[in-house]
Amino acid sequence: MSFRSVAIDGPAGAGKSTLARRLAGELGFLYVDTGAIYRTVALAVLRAGEDPSREDQVVPLLDGLDIRMGYGSDGVQRMYLSGEDVSAAIREHPISGAASQISAIPAVRDFLLDFQRKQAREHDVVMDGRDIGTVVLPGADVKIFLTAAPEARAKRRLLELEQRGQEADFDRVLQDIKERDWKDEHRDIAPLKQAEDAALLDTTGLNLEQSCDRLLSLVKEKIAL
Ligand code: DC
């Protein structure tokens, strides 16, 4: 039996996870947030007291890592590190930068490749990340490159942080986003870029409902539901 897949790539804060989760719900597919997997590796590296930018410190940890993914009764993806539910811990601020650093290490990407592909071998999936359409699932039925202007993404991120009761400053958030974009786009291996056969969806100036509608119609053009 062959399963269907939707690959959604794009920069941080473009709304990928919210939209991908909604889309997966509409289609009845499993939602796989691959950023969460990279974040879990980053957390393990920080907890081990190692430097996430140092390949020589990160690579020796990989073999001993016990990372699992599961789904709660609410259908939301959860990440486990050595059996501990770290779904909340991986969302804390220092993890974003560390995840970006470890994701530039080729051995980390190799290590996670099969973990991600396995999900698509076993389920219909909507998978989001940076290299899903280009590297992880080059044969995906639908590929979407989801983006928005950095300022629009920073505004959304600020709102998210405020809703969680965390203080944040617009300029700092914007700078973080730009730095992460630069790193993700310029790394040597699997950089963030639009696959040639991906449809571009720019959500600058669109609200969530409008973005969702556009996404769903792009997907329906390619996949018979
Ligand atoms: O989507 P996110 O912010 O949770 O991802 C965290 C980091 O992980 C991001 O800076 C880049 C990296 N990442 C990646 O390199 N490839 C993926 N498929 C997903 C995430």
Q: What is the pLDDT of residue 166?
A: 83
Full strand arrangement of the beta sheet holding 5-9? 30-33, 125-129, 5-9, 142-147, 199-202
| Confidence (pLDDT) at 15 | 87
Residue 160 reports pLDDT greater than 90: no
List all residues 6 or more positions away from 107 whose beta carbon is below 8 Å from its beta carbon.
55, 58, 59, 62
Domains of the chain, with CATH numbers?
5-222 (3.40.50.300)
State the pLDDT confidence band at 178, using cuts at 50, 70 and 90. Answer: very high
Q: How far is CA 90 from CA 37, 99, 182, 213, in A?
A: 9, 9, 21, 30
Kindly give the residue spans of alpha helices, DSSP state H, lying in 123-207.
Answer: 150-163, 170-186
CB environment 13-32: b (16+ within 10 A), e (fewer): bbbbbebbbbbbeebebbbb
| 109 in contact with ligand 1, CB cutoff 6 A | no
Q: Distance from the CA of 197 to the center of ligand 1, in angstroms? A: 21
Q: How far is the CA of 62 from the centre of ligand 1 (A)?
A: 17
**Ligand 1 atom 6, closest CA:** 35
Quick check: CB of 103 below 6 Å from ligand 1?
yes
The stretch 157-181 carries a mean pLDDT of 90
Report pTM: 0.91
Share the mean pLDDT of the chain: 94
Question: Which residue, among 45, 31, 117, 125, has the nearest Cα to 75 in the 3D structure?
Answer: 31
Amino acid at 32: V
The mean pLDDT value for 17-21 works out to 93
Interval 62-118: pLDDT, tens: 999 999 999 988 888 999 999 999 999 999 888 989 999 999 999 999 999 999 999
pLDDT digits (tens, 9 = 90+) for 133-150: 999 999 999 999 999 999
Atom of ligand 1 nearest to the CA of 97: 10
- C-alpha to C-alpha distance for 220 and 66, rounded to whole angstroms: 37
How far apart are the C-alpha atoms of 156 and 131, rounded to whole Å?
Answer: 23
129 alpha carbon to ligand 1 midpoint, in Å?
6
Predicted local distance difference test score (pLDDT) of residue 167:
86
Predicted confidence band of residue 21 (pLDDT cuts 50, 70, 90):
very high
Confidence of residue 1 (pLDDT cuts 50, 70, 90): low
For the cut 90, the answer to whether the pLDDT of residue 27 exceeds it is yes
Helix (H) or strand (E) holding 223: none
- Ligand 1 centre to CA of 35 (Å) is 4
Instruction: Say if CB 128 and CB 35 are below 8 A apart.
Output: yes
Mean pLDDT of all residues in 164-192: 91
pLDDT above 70: percentage of residues in the chain? 99
pLDDT tens digit string along 201-215? 999 999 999 999 999
Atom of ligand 1 nearest to the CA of 9: 18
| Sequence-ordered strand ranges (E) for the chain | 5-9, 30-33, 67-71, 77-81, 84-85, 125-129, 142-147, 199-202
